Structure 1
Amino acid sequence: MAYIKRDIEALVLDTSKEYAGIMITGPRQVGKTTMLRQLMDDSRRYVTLDDMDERKMAKEDPALFLSLHPVPVLIDEVQYAPELFSYIKIAIDNGAAPGDFWLTGSQSFRLMELAQESLAGRIAIFHLTALSQHEIYGSGKNTPFILELSKLQERAQRGMQTDVTGIYQRIWNGAMPGMISGKYTNRETFYSSYLQSYIERDVSDMVERIDKLGFLDFIRAAACRCGQLLNIHDIASDVGCSADTAKRWLGILEKSDVIFYLRPYSNNLLKRTIKTPKLYFFDTGLVAYLTKYSSPEILVNGAINGAILENYAVAEIRKSYTNAGMDCLMHYYRDRDSKEVDVVIEADGELHPLEIKKSTRPGSELTSTFKVLDASSVPRGTGAILCLREELSAVDRQNYIVPIWMI
């Protein structure tokens, strides 16, 4: 099994020279522990709280646990023993050396709450998702997706060009390290086991006596609506649960990094915008599995082909920022007159509109809706059509045509 270098590695190592503690959060099986074990030297000890004996000690006697596992130490799945956090705080306040504590955990929201309670300002926190397109197919240094011509031309040199078939192969393959690295070869078995493990461990840990079969059906119903406006009542109706239950279950999926949302862009001058978020999955391979597409050839002509392409592009843009240690102010726009912009990125005091289309020859009319943003108090900058064209091009000086393989 080949190790796949992660874009965030250099940032983690550099930050570890300044902070006594770093924490890597993210969903299960995205490579948090693998990356840190690849980066650590022989002086660092490793302990996982998946080991029930270690977990029991960490919860019942945190001081003894830390004495038995002296720094520098990597503590895996630290969310299982929140009792450790106050003791780590004391150690840091007493002069722990940079890089003494490396922590990982699979419940990002819970870990953020714990860190804010005990370790605010004392540790650096990074979020790791499934592999990015750049990590799998690219070369050189990752940079956040920016609509500057010189930056786009640089991206074209670092990516691996592909066509429509290639993009949908990537979408269908997904981005889980276990599959991409070749550790696992049976895709059906991998995703089936992944979901069972996720529900048995993370979901059951967050909600007692959850209807596991009902929750699995719920994930499938949500996957059918990736890249669309969230309609809680429709999803609830599909699986026969209440809207309140659907809302709680969506909260679980978000807290465990299976899904994320794009919120609508709005300000005081855009009064007719709708308030509903759009739903996306972090891994399109999981979406393809849940929606029962057995091959990329079938997916490319399937009912969700446009929505899953948008999901893929949005997730990749987000990863390009996350892996650079940066926040991405990314929204979408839609108003009550049905004027819509798929993605709006706010950067450097400008709004950058994006349309995402399953087309190799997108028309210039697709950029006409970008004008709705001119009413905003934030000026509109360069826009783009993200599509399946193989080469970088332009509609005009203000709007580029960007191949999705370049993100």
Structure 2
Amino acid sequence: MKSRFLKTRLLNKNSSFPNRIIVLTGARQTGKTTLARHCFPSYAYLSIEDPVLRIQYKNLTAAQWHNFYPRAILDEVQKEPVLIESIKSVYDQYEDVYYLLLGSSQLLLLKKVKESLAGRCIIEEIMPLTLPEILTHKWQEDPKFSWYQQFLTTGEIPPFLSSFELYPDYAARMEAFQYYLINGGYPALVNKNMNDGERFEWLKDYVRTYLERDLRDLVELRSLEPFVRIQKITALLTGQLINYSQLGKEAGVTSKTAQRFLQYLEISYQTILLQPWTRNKIKRLIKTPKLHYLDPGVQRAILQKRGDPDGNEYESTVVGEIYKQTKVLHFNGSFYHLRTHDGAETDLLLEKENGFLAFEIKMTEHAGKKEARHL
């Protein structure tokens, strides 16, 4: 079992008042349940997905929660949002209760959380495995910061050897990266007993489950077909600018519907949209965004595609990894893409409190000054 950066944060935050309620959100199969149960093995585990048990939990009074479940993990809590009110009531009446609320839909869950648990909880997001997490060998092993994470946390550029190949773990790093390019970072796939064909079948099942369950948790659609068309078109367009009018035209829906469907993909942790950076913050909201699928395995499964990635897919893979490595640090910054009037482009721009970090991403064996000319 791979270790997670979030493990240390959860254990530290749950040890002191007032963080007696932790809300953990993330896409299905990113490891929320596994992480929670390993961090807090003594907590009762309550699956809200079971409709019969859901009714029982819904009818518990605050006193009964305190007596029967003073410390508990509530999984898929977005399926019964009224339970959040129950947890609020217990929290307000008793000081010795601790709860973890797990959910797959950030819109439904976080809206209710912000309404009911404001000031009473801390919120954490879990995403597919980062490369440092893939490189771990067991749960007890803490993931090591990447060079990028070291720079963000210390402000100092880590020393580089004259050749990356001199690093003792160079082979392991390259193997992990090649694995990630093809399969992505979902924890269930990091199983030595699975081959790439079996991993691909798992990813296709994941995409089907997303449409049948996760999306239905988020919104009721009269027909899935228009959304599926948008999903496939955006998977083809990963790493590219998105024009809502053109996207809607190709999918046979209005531009507003296309924009709404993209919001569903984003709030269900499937994609990220990078707004263009400009000095005028209002213009950032109306200019053309750039879309990236967060996980390369899912993006390729949507397209039923195997083999090596193309340049745009490679860019999305790297952007997604940088995004995840930044998020686990709780770093205060915002991501954009940058395109000048004369066509010069920077693939990724991180705006920090004291400056910027710019990234140029190229799928090439040898990167030189030519590739970095826009930085």
Q: TM-score, normalised by structure 1?
A: 0.79
Sequence identity percentage:
27
Who is 2:34 aligned against?
A: 34
Who is 1:7 aligned against?
A: 5
Task: Tell me which of 102, 105, 109 is aligned to 2:103.
Answer: 105
Q: Structure 1 137/328 Cα, relative in aligned 2: closer, same or farther at 3 Å?
A: farther
1:131-280 superposed matches below 5 A: 131-137=129-135, 140-142=143-145, 144=149, 146=151, 150-151=157-158, 153=160, 160-161=170-171, 167-181=177-191, 186-268=198-280, 275-280=287-292
Who is 1:75 aligned against?
A: 74
Who is 2:300 aligned against?
A: 288
Task: Give the secondary structure class of the aligned counterpart of 2:3.
Answer: coil
Q: Structure 1 307/158 Cα, relative in aligned 2: closer, same or farther at 3 Å?
A: farther
Instruction: State the shift of 1:256 in Å.
Output: 0.9
Who is 1:115 aligned against?
A: 113
Backbone CA RMSD of aligned residues: 3.0
Letter in 1 for 2:158: K
Q: Structure 1 97/262 Cα, relative in aligned 2: closer, same or farther at 3 Å?
A: farther
- Please, which moves more after superposition, 278-287 or 358-367? 358-367
- Looking at structure 1, the residues matched to 280 and 14 of structure 2 have their Cα atoms a distance apart, in angstroms, of 42
Q: Structure 1 182/166 Cα, relative in aligned 2: closer, same or farther at 3 Å?
A: closer
Instruction: State the shift of 1:212 in Å.
Output: 2.2
**Where do 4+ consecutive residues of structure 1 move more than 6 Å?**
156-159, 162-166, 269-274
- Please, which moves more after superposition, 79-88 or 260-269? 260-269
Instruction: State the shift of 1:328 in Å.
Output: 3.7
- Looking at structure 1, the residues matched to 213 and 204 of structure 2 have their Cα atoms a distance apart, in angstroms, of 14
Contact between 2:277 and 2:284, CA under 8 Å: does it hold in 1? Answer: no
Q: Structure 1 163/184 Cα, relative in aligned 2: closer, same or farther at 3 Å?
A: closer
- Looking at structure 2, the residues matched to 146 and 256 of structure 1 have their Cα atoms a distance apart, in angstroms, of 30
Contact between 1:272 and 1:336, CA under 8 Å: does it hold in 2? Answer: no
Who is 1:92 aligned against?
A: 91
Letter in 1 for 2:13: T
Instruction: State the shift of 1:236 in Å.
Output: 2.4
Who is 1:391 aligned against?
A: none
Letter in 1 for 2:264: I
1:256-405 superposed matches below 5 A: 256-268=268-280, 275-296=287-308, 299=309, 305-370=310-375
Deviations 1:136-175 (A, max 9, x none): 1267433636375643649x76964579897454211111
Instruction: State the shift of 1:49 in Å.
Output: 0.4
- Looking at structure 2, the residues matched to 283 and 111 of structure 1 have their Cα atoms a distance apart, in angstroms, of 22
Equivalent pairs counted in the alignment come to 358
- Please, which moves more after superposition, 126-135 or 87-96? 87-96
- Looking at structure 2, the residues matched to 212 and 330 of structure 1 have their Cα atoms a distance apart, in angstroms, of 31
Q: Structure 1 367/311 Cα, relative in aligned 2: closer, same or farther at 3 Å?
A: same
Instruction: State the shift of 1:183 in Å.
Output: 7.5
Q: TM-score, normalised by structure 2?
A: 0.85
Who is 2:139 aligned against?
A: none
Q: Structure 1 270/212 Cα, relative in aligned 2: closer, same or farther at 3 Å?
A: closer
Letter in 1 for 2:367: P
Deviations 1:119-140 (A, max 9, x none): 1121111100111111112674
Letter in 2 for 1:340: E
- Looking at structure 2, the residues matched to 269 and 218 of structure 1 have their Cα atoms a distance apart, in angstroms, of 28
Contact between 2:105 and 2:218, CA under 8 Å: does it hold in 1? Answer: no
Instruction: State the shift of 1:95 in Å.
Output: 4.2
- Looking at structure 2, the residues matched to 259 and 271 of structure 1 have their Cα atoms a distance apart, in angstroms, of 22
Deviations 1:321-370 (A, max 9, x none): 22223344221111332121111112351112211111232231344433
Deviations 1:307-328 (A, max 9, x none): 1111111111111122223344
Contact between 2:293 and 2:299, CA under 8 Å: does it hold in 1? Answer: yes
Contact between 2:131 and 2:321, CA under 8 Å: does it hold in 1? Answer: yes
Letter in 2 for 1:40: F
Task: Give the secondary structure class of the aligned counterpart of 2:374.
Answer: helix
Consecutive unaligned residues of structure 2, counting only runs of 5 or more, are 137-141
- Looking at structure 2, the residues matched to 70 and 54 of structure 1 have their Cα atoms a distance apart, in angstroms, of 14
- Please, which moves more after superposition, 264-273 or 86-95? 264-273
Task: Give the secondary structure class of the aligned counterpart of 1:356.
Answer: coil
Consecutive unaligned residues of structure 1, counting only runs of 5 or more, are 300-304, 371-407
Task: Give the secondary structure class of the aligned counterpart of 2:360.
Answer: strand
Deviations 1:19-49 (A, max 9, x none): 111111000011100111111133x111110
